[in-house]
A and B are shown apart, each in its own frame.
Chain A
Amino acid sequence: MDLTTILALIVSSTLVYSAPLIFTSLGGVYSENSGIVNIGLEGIMTMGAFSAIVFNLTFASTFGKATPWLGALVGGIVGLVFSLLHAVATINFHADHIISGTVLNLMAPPLAVFLVKAIYEKGQTENITANFGYFSFPGLANIPVIGNIFFKNTSLPAYVAIVLAILLSFILYKTRFGLRLRSAGENPQAADTMGVNVYKMRYAGVLISGFLGGIGGAVFAEAISGNFSVSTIVGQGFMALAAVIFGKWNPIGAMLSSLFFGFAQSLSIIGNQLPVISKIPAVYMQIAPYVITIIVLVAFLGKSVAPAADGVNYIKAK
């Protein structure tokens, strides 16, 4: 293999594996910046993946090429609805964020598989026909070398996710909504005295994480797994959570961390096709995201960079 081919292979597979992580971790960033810890991203992704696959299988003939995109949207909506559980429990009912998030993770796989069985009378769906596939940017793909590496046969959802990260970063740091959302996660009491509706902001944070987590799951299912079963989403949501932390609770940081984790993941899968890498046991690539997250947490002395009131219930005084 020549260098360009190797790089093209690495870049495109990195992008494929990063896309779901970017969407989901962006959701996590919004939830945590509003002050709600969301370890239920895994469960949300599962619901997104499930609903996208069902949509895709049902409507592929109707919508053709648009199907996976619409499927992702459906996944996002289902994820949003599912995340309502977490929002109500933590914001209105004073539930522990970790326990409530764990409930999402406990609930999603059986619920999705139950529904698969109820619909298809078997535990695993068929493979979808309309998947995201590979995309070549018209024009850009013809640029010598660079076009081959970055713009030919690549993952369009990943590029959408990257653009979205920039947009969400902009919203979080440059708009009124973003400022108020962050204030709910930094010092809800101060925010409240300044006239910010903390509950509303926290709902927004959690529901955005539900929507984006659902999309993340959908993208994973429609670009990578191709069908839905109980083992479709295994650790993707937790890896996205790791990306939130590694990215220091910042949309751009989460996006870059997701790219890095996607890179590590793809190496563990395509590594055997590559020189040098093929000699390293795949396990190192597999555990890299998790080990790095722990190291980063230790290096930052734990919680100093998280939003100050992340995970703290805010109970309005009467």
Chain B
Amino acid sequence: MDEQQNVIEMANIVKDFNGFKANNGINLELKKGEILALLGENGAGKSTLMSILSGLLEPTSGEILVRGKKVNIKNPTVAKNLGIGMVHQHFMLAHSFTVLENIILGHEPTNGPLLNFKKAREEVLALSKKYGLSVNPDAKISDITIAQQQKVEILKVLYRGANILIFDEPTAVLTPQEITEFIQILKGLAKEGKSIILITHKLEEIKAVADRVIVIRAGKSVGYFKVANVSDEKLAELMVGRHVEMTLHKQPIQLGPEILQVKELKVKENRGNLAVKGLSFDIHGGEIVGIAGIDGNGQDELVEALTGLRHVESGQVKIKSKDMTNQSPRKITHLGVSSIPADRQKYGLILQLPIAENLVLKNYYHSPFSKHGIINFDKIHQHAKKLIKQFDIRTTNENLAAGELSGGNQQKVIIARELNLNSDLIIAFQPTRGLDVGAIEYIHKQLLHERNNGKAILLVSYELDEIMQLSDKILVLHDGQLAGKVKPKTTNETELGLLMTGVKKERA
């Protein structure tokens, strides 16, 4: 009987962020001792839902029952007292502390005035033995691997007596071998009676470990299956959703000269591991090449390497037949590369500066905007007025700080600046992230317009719809490598989903 009891029931959860419903009526049941997977694309509302469950956000409406009792989880302490523990995607660890110190912080056993490290160590070792979480309690966090840090996070939660564990994209940061080990750990936890919610968008993991799966799309729960009874294809289709309607009118492709050629490109991420592992492709004028893939498979590093922001370990980047490997961002821009960054507020704009100045961030230093190092603000303002009109940026005037614009209009400022450079290559990285439908449509039209004018466009996006609608060619990136090369007309989202998740491999 106990096995069948729902430890958590979430009913009709709605979370409204100023009119945007991140969760729009989600239902969820978690049984004791089971592993429930929460599947969905980026932005589908999984993290919001779990933040509600762990007390970081309060729902706008809806009901939560824990072990049959209605609860109001208004802060993380309440969640903790209910036995709910969350392992965050970005670990919350003090790096100069030892493993043991991190685990006991806030719940320290003491012996008089002193910390009782002996008792703590015994307890932690007992837990790690029970659940197969072997980690040296005296090692410093900064000295252990990411996988071990994750074990520390799990131990932290267990040490506080949690029996409902939430894992947010736990394998995003792990190597394949580490993932195998992690799956064993999850199974072990479930066997000991812990109930687990696993947030993921990797199908193979769900197959490997979960008992049931809930698919979430656009803030709603759209499917609820026993993993044994459902196919990968079905899940992939549900995850990416509706059939893509090719509403955009695309002119037939008119291939121009080769603009970008990437050969055996290898790039490291911040921790020093290879993130782009020998990538080769090329783009001609007049085509949009879409890079599909799940976040964290080397997209950031690829784009940064192409724009001169990140060091290329080996391989070559040729732009318009010129070797531009490891050249400065300014030289690359000057040669004819525009780039729309994924994080518009961190990289795309200087929020405190007026729109007008943000519009010349890449060409303020030469004529007509400045001469001999002196800026001509009249020209900058004229330029801004023209672009504001041309790109329909909704603002009172060009002197408004960019930070005061809405997200969509901020993105328009970037698009206006980048397209106005009249570059032959346009790199668009998540160009519609977090925007409403109208703004998305607008930006898509602009990109298509540039393609029809013979520009080469590299579109890197986590949104499959976007990739399918715009691309002439799709490259699927998985683990820093090309997992497949497909045409939008001859593929479907299910196939893309399988390639992206690494279930299916097709060497291009």
Contact = CB atoms under 8 A, between A and B. Distances in A.
Interface of A: 174-176, 179-180, 182-183, 186-187, 189-191, 193-196, 307-308
Nearest to B96: A186
A307 B92 CA distance: 15
B98 to A, nearest CB: 10
A182 B115 contact: no
Contacts of A183: 94, 97, 105
A186 B95 contact: yes
A186 B115 contact: no
B1 interface: no
B352 interface: no
B77 interface: yes
B488 interface: no
A196 B106 contact: yes
A29 to B, nearest CB: 14
Contacts of B96: 182, 186, 307-308
Nearest to B105: A194
A176 B95 contact: no
A176 B115 contact: yes
Nearest to A308: B95
From B94, B108, B114, name the one whose CB has the most chain A CB atoms within 10 angstroms: B94
Interface of B: 76-77, 80, 92-97, 101-102, 104-108, 110, 113-115, 156
Contacts of A307: 96
A195 B106 contact: yes
A263 to B, nearest CB: 29
A304 to B, nearest CB: 10
- 6 closest A-B pairs (Cβ-Cβ)? A194-B106, A186-B94, A190-B92, A195-B106, A187-B94, A176-B108
23 contacts: A175-B113, A175-B114, A175-B115, A179-B108, A182-B96, A183-B94, A183-B97, A186-B94, A186-B95, A187-B92, A187-B93, A189-B92, A190-B93, A190-B94, A190-B102, A191-B105, A193-B76, A193-B92, A195-B107, A196-B105, A196-B106, A308-B95, A308-B96
Nearest to B109: A176
Nearest to B94: A186
Nearest to A171: B113
Nearest to B95: A308
B101 A179 contact: yes
Contacts of B156: 194
A176 B94 CA distance: 15
A179 B95 contact: no
Nearest to B116: A176
B44 to A, nearest CB: 23
Judged by DSSP, the binding face of A is helix
A176 B77 contact: no
B506 to A, nearest CB: 42
Contacts of A176: 108, 110, 115
A174 B114 CA distance: 6
B137 to A, nearest CB: 14
A69 B108 CA distance: 36
A176 B95 CA distance: 18
Contacts of A182: 94, 96-97
Contact of B105 (A174, A175, A180, A308): A180
A182 B115 CA distance: 14
A195 B156 CA distance: 13
Contact of B115 (A179, A189, A191, A308): A179
Nearest to B77: A195
Contacts of B105: 179-180, 183, 190-191, 194, 196
Contacts of B104: 179
Given A179-B108, A191-B94, A193-B76, 11 more contacts: A174-B115, A179-B104, A179-B115, A183-B97, A186-B97, A187-B92, A187-B93, A194-B105, A195-B107, A196-B106, A308-B95
Nearest to A196: B106
A176 B156 CA distance: 17
A196 B97 CA distance: 15
A163 to B, nearest CB: 17
B94 A308 contact: yes
Nearest to B80: A195
Nearest to A187: B94
A222 to B, nearest CB: 31
A187 B97 CA distance: 10
A179 B105 CA distance: 7
B299 to A, nearest CB: 27
A187 B102 CA distance: 11
A289 to B, nearest CB: 25
A262 B260 CA distance: 63
A191 B93 CA distance: 9
Nearest to A186: B94
B97 to A, nearest CB: 6
A195 B78 CA distance: 11
Contacts of B113: 175
Determine which residue in B96, B102, B156 has the highest number of CB atoms from chain A within 10 A of its CB, and name it.
B96
A193 B76 CA distance: 7
Nearest to B97: A186
A194 B110 CA distance: 17
A88 to B, nearest CB: 25
B6 to A, nearest CB: 27
Contacts of B107: 194-195
B95 A191 contact: no
Nearest to A307: B96
A189 B105 CA distance: 12
Residue of A189, A191, A195, A307 with most chain B CB atoms under a 10 A cut-off: A195
A201 B146 CA distance: 29
A263 B135 CA distance: 44
B167 to A, nearest CB: 16
A174 B120 CA distance: 13
Contacts of A180: 105-106
A9 B463 CA distance: 76
A196 B101 CA distance: 13
A81 B412 CA distance: 53
Contacts of B101: 179
In this complex, which of A175, A183, A194 has the most chain B Cβ atoms within 10 angstroms of its Cβ? A194
A193 B88 CA distance: 11
B108 to A, nearest CB: 5
Contacts of A191: 94, 105-106
A279 B104 CA distance: 56
Nearest to A191: B105
B79 to A, nearest CB: 10
A146 to B, nearest CB: 33
A182 B101 CA distance: 10
